[in-house]
Amino acid sequence: MQNGDVRLNGGQFFKISGIAILAIGIWMEVELYKYMEMSTEFSGTAPYVLIGTGSLIILIGSLACCCTVKGQPVLLYVYGAFLAIVFVLELGAGLSIFAYRTKLTEGFDKGLSQAMVNYRNNTGHLANDFDVMQETLHCCGNHGYEDWLNLTPSYPIPPSCCIKEDCNPDVPEQIYTEGCYNKVIEFLNGPKMSAPPPPCDWQITRKLVKERGQYLLETGMWSDCRFIVGTEPNQQVLEGHKLFLAMSSPVFEAMFFGGMAEKDPIAILDVQPDAFKALLEYIYTDKINLTSFDQACELCYGAKKYMLPHLVEECTKYLWSDLYPKNACRAYEFAKLFEEPILMEKCMLIICNQTQEVLSESSFDDVELSTILTVFDQEELNITSELELFSAISRYAQRHNQSSGAKVPRLDGIGNPSTEASNNTNHPTVRDAIMKIRFLTLTPQQFAEVPASCNLLSESEKFAILMNICSTSASIPMPAGFSTSRVIRRRKPSRNDSIFMGGASSMDTSRTSMIRFSLSANEGGNEAPKKLYCCRQLLRITECMNTSVLDCAVTFTCDRNVCVYGIQVPTQIPAVEEERQATFSYPELLYAHLLDADGSRLTYTHFTSRVVFRSLIEISFNRPIYIQRNKVYKVGVVLNKIGRYPIGTYPSQSTCNGVVFTFSQGQSGDSVRDGLVRGIIFSIPSSNHNSINNPGMSGIPGDHNKMSNII
């Protein structure tokens, strides 16, 4: 009888468990369905699986009771088989629930956003479900009540967001502000275990401020802001403290306490998580832990973005100490992108001194074509013949054409580029690099063995080049655009090579480079050119209100070659309250840049300083830029402080010291609120001052119009 009791209790146990699973399935169908169907990953089968499983278990439990009462052996065997089936079914039900919860978190965000769009269009029963969800869970919108206002077009906050009836939805204190996404996920996951409290008096055991800062960074205690850093699938959420960040970076100050205030969490998609963690570690603890060239590049980018000059300097020093032929081209591209002319010069010296090693590295196949063009432009390269350059560009073309499926760019006739090459005039091509190779320095045998056997040249071009190699007075000209130089490139030792290649400190090298530029600019004992100010004549003035971030730009040309140093912009007009309190100054924060006609950035600057109201401030670019006459350039300014700015109306031309500036040139949309740029600071270089085209780059020929934009 005891065995029967055990069997009876076992059957009752499975019967009870079946009833529990059945109840969960019915609850999911009735109560949770309105939440789950908003998920893009929801198939609607999970509740029915649980209902079916629970019903089957109840049936099996009832059969067990019947078998035990009647004592029939056959039915007992059937019951034993059912026990095994029950185990498999319960395991499957558990896995189903787990898989469902995982998919819910993946698709629920997208589903809620779509449900808000359907709510606005008043389509389907999802609108009513959304109202029920907001009222039940005390939430509003997907990630916050602002989501309703950010719809396109904007939608008023629905009444279901109100804490009490007849509230004013425009007042955040009277509505639910937390988003429904987190509320639903918390509802499904259940209550979480609270984090263990921090140890008592943890401040006492940490003597230094940086130690206490590191503790706050590691634990996230008292954090009041979050960052979503990186891109999928390596995206991470990092916590921070506004006060720590703002006291280290003017960009963070404007982001949290100024006109650039952003929503939480703040998305930072252009910085990798490891680099941003290193940046936070520097802000909290002053520690700079650089372990690789790639990490230094990433961290330097973040330091420039958030205006941390000391961190930029340390990253640049590390890059200086870690330069080799393998990464010289990549370092050059990094220095070019972020306008580090001294680092650019050292990279190019390494490339020129160790050209053979650079060309033979597999990393050379991954550099930008614009970098290859710069290398092929050099007058001095450490190569035995031009065949090394041709072999490198041939390998580069094969590598990239294999990956893209494109055909190798060819030259179909003498001086006539192929259709494919001619259609791509905005970007450098393999053809541009081939045209810079000095084929005339090769012997006929060298040309026949390598370039003539390659399909990068057409038959007519091969014949024309070979004829010019064999004779200086050939009747057939070189193909149009090809190099006609017969000068063999040889790298000659320079007195500066020992400075750059001998392990001198970055500070010494920087000083030497600047001295060399200074000498070139004052060659022959001439004085440095005098700064001049082209102030635009004010015809009429109005006011422009900056509520967050204000962009302004003006295009211009001049009738002489000049060197531009910076611009003049007006400061804010004080508000009534500021005038009443006799406030004479405020902290200004702006960004300015100079672009060429192609939109490539030539120079830029960040300006942050306390300035006087109703005044004119001088904004100096990071380096002077040589401006060519009759070419269109564009000055852009981004103002980041909330307030009123005076915006003027000016004549289209202004003349200063015989130089005529014409403004608002180019397309009509290029100049936006151009009245915020009051003047241009420039000088008139003499013939001895043309080297100012590329400050600190006097040993590297190049065109500043090829500078890349920051991404």
The pairing of beta strand 532-535 with beta strand 679-683:
antiparallel
- Quick one: average pLDDT of 490-496? 57
| Nearest residue to 618 via CA among 626, 607, 627 | 607
Question: How much is the pLDDT for 407?
Answer: 40
Highest-confidence segment of 20-29, 82-91, 108-117: 108-117
Q: What pTM was computed for the model?
A: 0.47
- Which residue carries 């779509």 as its tokens? 114
Question: How much is the pLDDT for 195?
Answer: 53
The domain boundary residue, chosen from 424, 444, 470: 470
Least confident of 229-243, 335-349, 471-485, 641-655: 335-349
Please give the Cα distance from 513 to 507 (Å, whole number).
Answer: 10
Residue 244 pLDDT greater than 80, yes or no: yes
Decide if 478 is inside a domain. Answer: no
Residue 57 pLDDT greater than 70, yes or no: no
Residue 701 pLDDT greater than 60, yes or no: no
Question: How much is the pLDDT for 562?
Answer: 93
Residue 500 pLDDT greater than 50, yes or no: no
- Quick one: average pLDDT of 546-575? 90
CATH assignment at residue 47: 1.10.1450.10
Residue 598: partners with Cβ closer than 8 Å, 6 or more residues away: 426, 705
**C-alpha torsion 45→46→49→50, nearest 10:** -150
CATH assignment at residue 598: 2.60.120.820
Question: How much is the pLDDT for 304?
Answer: 87
Per-residue confidence band for 541, with pLDDT thresholds at 50, 70 and 90: confident
pLDDT tens digits along 320-353:
888 889 889 989 988 888 777 888 888 999 999 9
Statement to judge: residues 355 and 452 lie in one domain: yes
Statement to judge: residues 305 and 326 lie in one domain: no
- Which residue carries 């009534």 as its tokens? 576
Statement to judge: residues 216 and 176 lie in one domain: no
- Quick one: average pLDDT of 74-93? 69
What single-letter DSSP state applies at residue 573?
B
Statement to judge: residues 276 and 420 lie in one domain: no
Cβ 674 vs Cβ 552: under 8 Å: yes
Per-residue confidence band for 611, with pLDDT thresholds at 50, 70 and 90: confident
Distance of CA 325 to the CA centre of its chain: 27
> Total structural domains in the chain?
4
* Host domain of residue 270: 209-311
Residue 667 pLDDT greater than 70, yes or no: no
Please give the Cα distance from 556 to 651 (Å, whole number).
Answer: 12
Decide if 137 is inside a domain. Answer: yes
Per-residue confidence band for 702, with pLDDT thresholds at 50, 70 and 90: very low
Question: How much is the pLDDT for 119?
Answer: 78
Statement to judge: residues 82 and 228 lie in one domain: no
The end-to-end CA distance of the chain, in Å, is 81
Per-residue confidence band for 36, with pLDDT thresholds at 50, 70 and 90: low
Q: What average pLDDT does the chain have?
A: 76
The domain boundary residue, chosen from 470, 490, 519: 470
Least confident of 4-18, 58-72, 115-129: 4-18
The 3-class SS string of 76-125 reads HHHHHHHHHHHHHHHHHHHHHHHHHHHHHHHHHHHHHHHHHHHHHHCCCC
| Nearest residue to 434 via CA among 453, 457, 464 | 457
Decide if 37 is inside a domain. Answer: yes
The pairing of beta strand 225-229 with beta strand 266-268:
parallel
Statement to judge: residues 170 and 66 lie in one domain: yes
Tokens of 438: 């000095």
pLDDT tens digits along 399-421:
887 433 334 444 444 444 444 44
pLDDT tens digits along 164-192:
877 877 777 778 888 887 777 776 665 55
pLDDT tens digits along 352-395:
999 999 999 988 988 999 899 999 999 889 999 999 999 999 99
Neighbours of 672 (CB within 10 A): 12
Please give the Cα distance from 239 to 265 (Å, whole number).
Answer: 9
Question: How much is the pLDDT for 238?
Answer: 92
Residue 468 pLDDT greater than 90, yes or no: yes
Please give the Cα distance from 497 to 500 (Å, whole number).
Answer: 5
Statement to judge: residues 147 and 113 lie in one domain: yes
Statement to judge: residues 85 and 174 lie in one domain: yes
Statement to judge: residues 46 and 161 lie in one domain: yes
Decide if 433 is inside a domain. Answer: yes
Residue 542 — φ and ψ, nearest 5°? -130, -175
Statement to judge: residues 656 and 592 lie in one domain: yes
Cβ 303 vs Cβ 266: under 8 Å: no
Question: How much is the pLDDT for 313?
Answer: 87
Half-sphere exposure of 685 (CA within 13 A, CB side): 22
Decide if 516 is inside a domain. Answer: no
The 3-class SS string of 206-274 reads CCCHHHHHHHHHHHCCCCCEEEEECCCCCCEEEEECHHHHHCCCHHHHHHHHCCCCCCCCEEECCCCHH
Cβ 248 vs Cβ 257: under 8 Å: no
Whether the CA torsion 112, 118, 119, 123 is positive or negative: it is: negative
Statement to judge: residues 322 and 359 lie in one domain: yes
Decide if 32 is inside a domain. Answer: yes
Statement to judge: residues 250 and 136 lie in one domain: no
- Quick one: average pLDDT of 236-257? 90
Question: How much is the pLDDT for 291?
Answer: 84
Assign 3-state DSSP to the chain and report helix, strand, coil percentages, each to 5: 50, 15, 35
Neighbours of 255 (CB within 10 A): 20
Per-residue confidence band for 572, with pLDDT thresholds at 50, 70 and 90: very high
Residue 142 pLDDT greater than 70, yes or no: yes
Question: Judging by beta carbons within 10 Å of its beta carbon (0-12, 13-18, 19+), is residue 561 exposed, middle or buried?
Answer: middle
